[in-house]
Structure 1
Amino acid sequence: MENKPQRKRGTLIFWLLFLAIATAISATVLLANQHRNLKHLMRWLGLPLHETMVIPKPGGLEKFRGRRLQGVAVLLDPYVFMHEIKGMESAFLRSMKKDGENLCDLFNRSGFPMSKWQPGTFAKKVNECWYELAIPNAEKPDDPSTFFLMIKGAQDGTLVSTRVKFIFTDAAARAKLTAMAAEVLTDFADATKWTEIADQKNKLLALTPFNSTLSGVSARFSSEFSGSGRYNLIFSRTDLNPAQKRTEDYFEHRHFYPLLPEHGGPAIAAAQPKP
């Protein structure tokens, strides 16, 4: 009988300690992050919440220790302080400065055995590489399915065009040639960082024509009227509008802020005397 009061007293002490520890933990959680959790709880319970705005006291400038760096004078162009001039706006322009030879190597690694990058047969100032595949037609031996890929580029590295032409004469070759054209589309998008054109892949697989133009570059997929099963996928540069032309000139030193003649720039034209 004497153990019962002691047992009750021990149980009471245990629960008091448990409540004290639980209260301390709850208070720590609620008061953390500048009472943020407590405010969330009060809002959830619908209790009125009065927040006090604390205005910091005005302070002085921070004193730096150590050796102060010497100031450097920089000459800024007057254009920096000028307002935008009407009629001189620029526009986003996608660069076609992708080396054609590297693009040929990329398609070669992707499973398209490209020819050597060399001057074209008809235009010596334009380099080209190409790949051609023929798939026999069992029912029509004289009418095989074909796939043709050609890349053209200027000698300065400007990519002129990339063209895919495929013709399927039977249903068996349709899936293979369409998948090859879709792979060219994906590889070209990755190589030129034109990720938006990769969204047209599903249309190509469904043989649905499309024409996408963005910032001076176009991708066009179309069917030929000369017969069924004939399709073309062409990547090329579009004609630039005046705003895009100004953007191109800005990054071309021959047209915008050219170098002085002693540094390889063009000769300075003599001023014309006024009449």
Structure 2
Amino acid sequence: MTTSSSERGVSLGMPQLPAPAYPDDVRTRLERDAREVIARYPDSRSALLPLLHLVQSEEGHVTRTGMQFCADVLDLTTAEVTAVATFYTMYRRRPSGDYQVGVCTNTLCAVMGGDAIFEALQEHLAVGNNETTDDGKVTLEHIECNAACDFAPVVMVNWEFFDNQTVRSAKRLVDDLRAGREVTPTRGAPLCTFKETARVLAGFPDEREGAVAGGGSAGPASLTGLRLAKGETGPARVVHPREGGPQDAPRDAAPDAAPQDAVPPGYLSSHDAPQDTSASDPAHPAGPVAEEGE
């Protein structure tokens, strides 16, 4: 006999906190969509990730009701669903904005101005990390590398790329989002709301006209990462958060043209030039550690 997720929760000694139920029409619609998702997998349990995106598309975050729904249709415990929903950062656990604005603060984006952008947006929007503006439009967060280092610093909105950003352009971007003005990612599909994005991530086609085509152009890729790796710090557009925001400047200026927002001479962080290592310094090769008495 098959036991329900709640029965199995009781058998494991887990406290049961009943979740509010979806209205009948919403549950019927979600069950229909869930059957379509589950049918794609040989094991229904494998459908949990897209189903979490599905319920997130309903309310803008993964609620207890949504997790209970996933447990019911997949014959899992709510503990099993919660373990997955709390592991992945793409699943929101509390109400968030129509637009998730993520600023990359990983190494290259940070030294190129990502830290300055993030700090400026916190002040501009009057929110902290993972907080939402009062109008419910924008949730700000710092994010890890999104494999776009050649277009650093990068800001993402609902996981669409806005490359080569500055403090000025990032402020303009969030102002446009809050005002309802159209914004165009530098590449990829046109921007949509977080709920619409979640449904696409659940595996359903994007039915917006022109959703696949479109997007702008990221422009030429920056060679800053390569130049930093080689120790060529002259043309690097490096900004320390306490030195103020970066300026709009041409990418990849000539090596003898010092950009306005470059780090002052003599001010180098550990990222600006690689340090000598045993691989790069033949005068100090690394060898096996000698045992005492040898």
Shorter-chain TM-score bucket reads: under 0.3
* TM superposition score normalised by structure 2: 0.23
* TM superposition score normalised by structure 1: 0.25
Q: Which protein has the larger Cα radius of gyration, Structure 1 or Structure 2?
A: 1
Q: Which structure would you say has the larger RCO, counting Cα contacts within 8 Å and 6 or more residues apart?
A: 2
Structure 1 or 2: more strand by fraction: 1
